Amino acid sequence: MFIVPQEEPEDCKDLNRKEESFPKANLTGSLLITTEEVDSLWETVKDKAVIKTTLADREYLMRDLSILDNNVYELVFGQDISNPKT
C-alpha cells in the first residue's frame, strides 16, 4: 500500500489557529497488537507513553500492556502465554 501526498487544506496551514483541525476520534474499544517481545516493548514505552494498563499476566492467558495514542485510542500489546516455553 502507498499513500499519494496531498496538499494540506488551507485551514490547517494557519499556525495560530486555536480550534481543532480534525474531528475527535470515535473508536470505542481497543486495538490488540500481538508480539513475541512484550517485555522489551514495555521497557521501551513505560516512561514515554501514556500508560493505561501496566505490563502483567492476565487470566485470559495473555501478558499485555496498553497505552493511549495521540487520538486517545487504546493500543493493547500482548503476548500469548498459554503455552509457556520450557
End-to-end Cα separation, the chain, in angstroms: 39
Cβ(54)–Cβ(8) under 8 Å? Answer: no
C-alpha cell at 59: 487470566
C-beta atoms surrounding 61 within 10 Å: 13
The answer as to whether 19 is a domain residue is: no
Q: What is the pLDDT of residues 5-15, one digit of tens each?
A: 667 667 666 66
Overall pTM > 0.95: no
Task: Specify the number of domains making up the chain.
Answer: 1
The answer as to whether 5 is a domain residue is: no
Q: What is the pLDDT of residues 44-63, one digit of tens each?
A: 999 999 999 999 999 999 99
CATH of the domain at 60: 3.10.180.10
The answer as to whether 6 is a domain residue is: no
C-alpha cell at 20: 481543532
The CA–CA distances, whole Å, from 16 to 9, 12, 19, 49 equal 15, 10, 9, 27
